[in-house]
Amino acid sequence: MNYKHAFHAGNAADVLKHAILVLVLRYLSQKDAPFRLIDTHAGAGLYDLAGDDASRTGEWHDGIGRLLDGMQQKLSGLPPEAAALLAPYLACITACRAEHGRMAYPGSPVLARMLMRRDDRLVLCETAAGPAKALGKAIGRDKRVSILPLDGWMVLKAQIPPKEKRGLVLIDPAFEDRDEFATLARSLADAWRKWPGGVYLAWYPLKDQTLVARFCRNLAESDLRKVLRLELMLGGTSGLTGTGLIAVASVGSHPGPRPASRLAA
């Protein structure tokens, strides 16, 4: 396994995923009842955009670099609706930079921890030794957080529905394996069947349109309801041509089989 998120931290895919993660966590915080976040593929937690890995690719320049220069926001060209949606996320990045330095960038675990309350719980899965060690350092001692050096797909199966009954599952695989689209579609559908009251966010790359089309068809044919498919095109014709995110809203209880969906259309 060669994937290292430090090469990609703060890129456009991270911006879309993290901006929505922040909005969902703020939404979950509107009710007093605690929530649980299960981050199945957590990464290292905190990144240095001036470090060797991020500098080697420079991907962050087309991501967070277009929105923030150090602590300075660069939102003047954006429609007000877009600026308003990005504001909570940018406030988190600025707070992270105030604590860790002006080139710091928080991964999903650090963002989540910033938005947790006293009784909320965070479960972080990371199987690679290097990122797992860095993650432990980034999170420090926190009784609300469990860092598990275990397979995130397995932990997802084992931990839902959580005792809090409210929460979010973030699935952000490395996509090094061609089967990962099929695993993601199957795991999402299985998890939702067990816990339709959860909110789900799942990232996927736009590289191979055939795989993406099959993935969306699989989701459309599953029982999943209230699914939003978000895709941001990045330009270019090879490599990562865009970034995708599946967001599944909470449903009170399992509503039974659903009519045909238009997700794949």
Instruction: Write out the residues near ligand SAM by the rule CB under 6 A.
Output: 3, 5, 17, 39, 41-43, 107-108, 125-128, 131, 151-153, 172, 174
Determine how β-strand 121-125 pairs with β-strand 36-39. Answer: parallel
Is the CB of 21 or the CB of 196 nearer to ligand SAM?
21
CA distances from 88 to 42, 70, 97, 187, 264 (A): 21, 17, 14, 30, 31
Is the CB of 127 or the CB of 261 nearer to ligand SAM?
127
Q: How far is the CB of 128 from ligand SAM (least distance, A)?
A: 4
Q: How far is the CB of 225 from ligand SAM (least distance, A)?
A: 25
Q: Catalytic: 32?
A: no
Is the CB of 234 or the CB of 263 nearer to ligand SAM?
234
CA distance 94 to 4: 24
Q: How far is the CB of 78 from ligand SAM (least distance, A)?
A: 22
Among candidate residues 32, 172, 179, 223, the one labeled active-site is: 172
135-147 as b/e: b if 16+ CB within 10 A: bbebbeeeeebeb
Q: How far is the CB of 25 from ligand SAM (least distance, A)?
A: 13
Is the CB of 115 or the CB of 196 nearer to ligand SAM?
115
Contacts of 129 (CB under 8 A, 6+ apart): 149
The token pair at 214 is 């099959």
Catalytic residues: 172
